[in-house]
Structure 1
Amino acid sequence: MQILAEIEENAKQVFGENVIQSPESPLGQLNRLCASLGTTLWETAEDTYQSYDPDQAEGVRLEQLGRIRLLERMTGETDAEYRGAITNQGRARIDIADIVRALSGVAGVTYAKVFINPGDATDADGIPGHTVAAAVIGGDDGAVASALRPYITPGIDSYGNARADIDVDGYCRTVYFVRPVPVRLGLQLQARVTADRLGCPPPSAVAIGLIISNALTGQSRPVNGQDIDLHLIRTAVTAAYPNVEIVAGTWTLLPDGDLTPLPAPIPFLSIAEIVPASVIVAIVE
């Protein structure tokens, strides 16, 4: 009906408002013929578009899509079963990036990192052999566990300081993951500066401190278990200011810890939380 209405409206623009387009009139019959052809064309275009979607394709077209994935239809396999094989229905890829993507998609998650130990012995971070350790900040425990569980294949364990019990097809499954404990740190750093090769003056101590704070917080923050050392800080500074050298530094536990020379050791189950207001830079000769 929409196609017919559009044809009749176009006819009025060509022949005038009073043109006769009743169903019995020659123009009316021609309009309906064109509308029928247009409807058939749209249906054909829609069928063609849908046939390239494995979730909608059927029969021979589904088999053509399956061959792209090097999957032939098994004897007696229905379209629904074959479609599930093509789209990996109910299965998960096991690449680390896919696990991180799944965890990052959980509502409220602001940090997600995945560590694995494919060996037989417990590694330096305390992760047992053949184990996945997913570190997550934010999100509901159950939602995090549900997102992680499909990637914990038989023979692989999960590890962490947090756990959630979830129902999988009527069976209780326990999933462990890491909730990094924040370690609030302040930094006091000494920097040596020179004019750059173009003769421009070096940045101020405040500007250097801001670069360091930005590099150690937000999306670029160090991962859990990563020590805060001079190399990490120097890398962040020299990327922005090649004419600045961080020569020494100390750290302190906030709010009132003692000053201690870097590096600041961070256990695997913890994560450094740098407080920007407590990053202090002094310019030295």
Structure 2
Amino acid sequence: MSYGVTPAGFVRPTMAEILDAIEQSNVAIFGSGLIQTAASPMGQWNGLRAEQIMMSWERTEEVYQSYDPRQAEGVPLDRLAALRLLARQPGETDASLSLAITNAGVANTRDADFYRSVLNVSGVTWARIYVNDADEEDDNGMSPHSVSLAAIGGDDEALALVARRYIVPGITSFGNTRVETEIDGYCRSIMIHRPVEVPTKLELDIRKWADAGGCPPDPTSAIAATLVANLSDANRPRNGVTLTKHIMSQALCDKPNVEVVAGRGAKNAGTVAALPLAFGFNEIPLITLANVTLHVVD
């Protein structure tokens, strides 16, 4: 069996395998009559040697893992992230940070790194990167060959400096807020997009039932809290979204015994009407528990 760095990662021998290798080596040198029981002097010497060898393997594995983002943990993983200009998000697990470092399963690594860098800006609670690679204006009104950073929270200049790192000269930055940046004496105007938060009322008709184990469904208040949590902060619908019954159902996907039968909504203090409810690219829904009403139907 191969030990050390292998295609499957770092593999180290077990204590039993190390001890067996030592005993076999001794037999080859001194003959099969050598007494190597655990209580014998040679057996105790073998155990001491095996322990030292095992400690050496463990130290070697720690060094390897500290430079492998798929296996590093804690502070060593944070150091590897810093080499990629990334940082751990508040409460982020090692597994999530490791995926961000390696960009596993990410098709557009540039935008993924851009997005994480934006989230690292103090005060940012939500962000989205939009790209229009076409030769004509897109449905959001973005100009051809442009990139838009939309964000809520954070300092304008801090966001613009991040955008400047990822939006190369010649590509237009699209937005509704102009920020002047200067790096090493070189000035550049960056546009960032600041969507307006629109208080949104929601009324949903839901049906709920006991689960397969006979347990009753959650109280309606708990279901409403789940809905709001899954439509807020980093999970909130994007600017320019059209709220639909399907989006409401997705927000309650972790409640398998709850069905959204129908939905109504309104902006600000307007009169609710049947979904869908469309928002402009300069708007983003603000959904709070106080503006959500659930009706349980049969």
TM-score, normalised to structure 1, is 0.63
Q: Distance in 2 between matches of 1:244 and 1:106?
A: 37
SS in 1 for 2:290: strand
- 1:148 is matched with 163
2:114 aligns with one of 94, 99, 116:
99
- 2:255 is matched with 241
The code of the aligned residue for 2:267 comes to: L
Q: Distance in 1 between matches of 2:206 and 2:264?
A: 12
> Aligned-residue CA RMSD in angstroms?
2.2
- 1:195 is matched with 210
SS in 1 for 2:243: coil
- Count matched residues: 194
2:297 counterpart of 1:284 = yes
Q: Distance in 2 between matches of 1:165 and 1:134?
A: 15
Task: Structure 1: give runs of 5+ residues left out of the alignment.
Answer: 1-48, 54-92
- 1:179 is matched with 194
SS in 2 for 1:195: coil
The code of the aligned residue for 2:256 comes to: P
Q: Distance in 1 between matches of 2:188 and 2:282?
A: 22
Q: Distance in 2 between matches of 1:282 and 1:177?
A: 40
CA displacement at 1:203 relative to structure 2: 2.6
Q: Distance in 1 between matches of 2:135 and 2:161?
A: 26
- 1:135 is matched with 150
2:263 counterpart of 1:252 = no
CA displacement at 1:94 relative to structure 2: 7.2
- 1:232 is matched with 247
The code of the aligned residue for 1:242 comes to: P
TM-score, normalised to structure 2, is 0.61
2:132 aligns with one of 117, 125, 139:
117
SS in 2 for 1:176: strand
2:185 aligns with one of 145, 166, 170:
170
CA displacement at 1:226 relative to structure 2: 2.0
Q: Distance in 2 between matches of 1:257 and 1:222?
A: 20
The code of the aligned residue for 2:214 comes to: G
Change (3 A) 1:199 1:267: same
Q: Percent identity?
A: 39
Deviation by residue 1:40-60 (Cα, 9 ceiling, x = unmatched): xxxxxxxxx9xxx9xxxxxxx
